[in-house]
Every structure is written in structure tokens, then in C-alpha cells.
């Protein structure tokens, strides 16, 4: 399925690479979900854990934060996803910017490294969550 999705998006995947690419893709998605659950922990409720409603890849659409940070000299992300979760019947959107990481030294150049910037989308509730997390932990405002 991943191979066919890449072809639909006009990538040139190689079937032989899928044994490496798919586990990396799955691990990255697991980390995204873990970070979303950290944000969702601000909203403990009786209805249980949030559920993923949908996700949408937006590789050519840069988030406002990514555009702003690029003006400061940072690289743009190589991908972006918007994930929508169901929080007790309320759809809540998260923005995920995907950045290439840097290997700690030349000897580990074959190590795959990513940085995920996961945060609530810009909305009244999303901004409120960012402030709540910032005041609670000193991070999360952006």
C-alpha cells in the first residue's frame, strides 16, 4: 500500500527499498501519535483515548511556523502532515512538520534521523493548548 501511495504521488519508489522504508515510516508515525497523546493529556476525560479520524499529507504546503522559522535561517521541513483526532466527539487538528535530523558524527552517517514538530493547529483551542503547555513545561508555545 505504501509503495502504491508513493507512486500515486509521482515518487519513484523501488520495491526493493520498501523493506527499509516501511518500518521507518511506521516508526515515525508511532512517534507522531506519541507526541499527539502528550498534547491530548491536557484534556483528560471519561471518554477515553482520542482516536485518529484522518491524516493528510501536505508536502508542498509549509506551516506558518515553518515559513517564519525559514526567515530566521532554518531549513524548511521536507514534509508536513495534518492529523485530525476525535476528542470525545470533537475533531481536533494537529500540524506535524518533518525535518531531517543530523547524525551525531560521520561514523553514523547511515543512521536515519528525523525531527518531528508536532503541535495543535492554529485555532482558539490550539493556541490555548500551546499556552497551557508553555506555562506547565516551559515549551510548546510555538
Burial code of 123-137, b = ≥16 C-beta within 10 A, e = fewer?
eeebeebbeebeeee
Order of strands, sheet of 79-87, starting from the edge strand that comes earlier in the sequence? 51-57, 79-87, 90-100, 114-120
Has residue 92 got a pLDDT over 60?
yes
Rg (CA), the chain: 17
* Residue 62 CB neighbour total at 10 angstroms: 16
- Domain borders along the chain are 2-137
State the average pLDDT for the chain: 85
pTM higher than 0.85: no
3 state DSSP class of 88: coil
d(CA 104, CA 77): 19
What residues pair up with 119 in beta bridges, in sequence order?
95
First to last CA, the chain: 34
As given in the structure block, the three cell numbers for residue 82 are 495534518
pLDDT tens digits for 26-74? 888 999 999 999 999 988 877 888 999 999 989 889 999 999 999 999 9
Amino acid at each position: 500500500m505504501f509503495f502504491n501511495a508513493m507512486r500515486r504521488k509521482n515518487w519513484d519508489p523501488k520495491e526493493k527499498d520498501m523493506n527499509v522504508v516501511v518500518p521507518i515510516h511506521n516508526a515515525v508515525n508511532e512517534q507522531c501519535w506519541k507526541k499527539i497523546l502528550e498534547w491530548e493529556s491536557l484534556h483528560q476525560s471519561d471518554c477515553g483515548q482520542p482516536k485518529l479520524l484522518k491524516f493528510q499529507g501536505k508536502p508542498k504546503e509549509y506551516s506558518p511556523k515553518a515559513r517564519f522559522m525559514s526567515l530566521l535561517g532554518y531549513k524548511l521541513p521536507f514534509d508536513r502532515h495534518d492529523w485530525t483526532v476525535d476528542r470525545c466527539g470533537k475533531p481536533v487538528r494537529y500540524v506535524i512538520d518533518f525535518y531531517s535530523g543530523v547524525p551525531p558524527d560521520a561514523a553514523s552517517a547511515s543512521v536515519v534521523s528525523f525531527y518531528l514538530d508536532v503541535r495543535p493547529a492554529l485555532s482558539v483551542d490550539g493556541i490555548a493548548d500551546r499556552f497551557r503547555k508553555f506555562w506547565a513545561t516551559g515549551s510548546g508555545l510555538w
